[in-house]
Amino acid sequence: MADTGGRPGSGHTPVMLDRIVELLSPALSEPGAVLVDGTLGLGGHAAALLDAHPRLRLVGVDRDTTALERSRTRLAPFGDRVELAHAEYDDIPAVLDGLGVREVQAVLLDLGVSSPQLDESERGFAYSQDAPLDMRMDRTQGRTAADVLNTYSVSELARILREYGEERFAGRIAQAVARRRAAAPLDSTRDLAELVRDAIPAATRRTGGNPAKRTFQALRIEVNAELEILARALPEAVDRVAVGGRIAVLSYHSLEDRITKRTLSGLATDTTPEDLPVPLPDHRPQLRLLTRGSESPTDEENDANPRAASARLRAAERVRRP
Binding residues for S-adenosyl-L-methionine, by number, are: 43-45, 62, 89, 110, 117
Backbone angles phi, psi at 211, to 5 degrees: -65, -15
By the 8 A CB rule, do 247 and 190 touch? no
Q: Distance (Å, rounded) from C-alpha 195 to C-alpha 65?
A: 31
Residue set of the binding site: 43-45, 62, 89, 110, 117
| Beta-sheet pairing, 312-318 with 287-289 | antiparallel
Residue pair 305/16 in contact (Cβ under 8 Å)? The answer is no
144 in Cβ contact with 223 (< 8 Å): yes
Answer yes or no: are the C-beta atoms of 197 and 205 closer than 8 Å: yes
- Give the closest residue to 243 by CA, choosing from 283, 290, 288: 288
Count each helix (H run) and each strand (E run) in the chain, helices first.
Answer: 14, 7
Strands 241-251 and 312-318: antiparallel
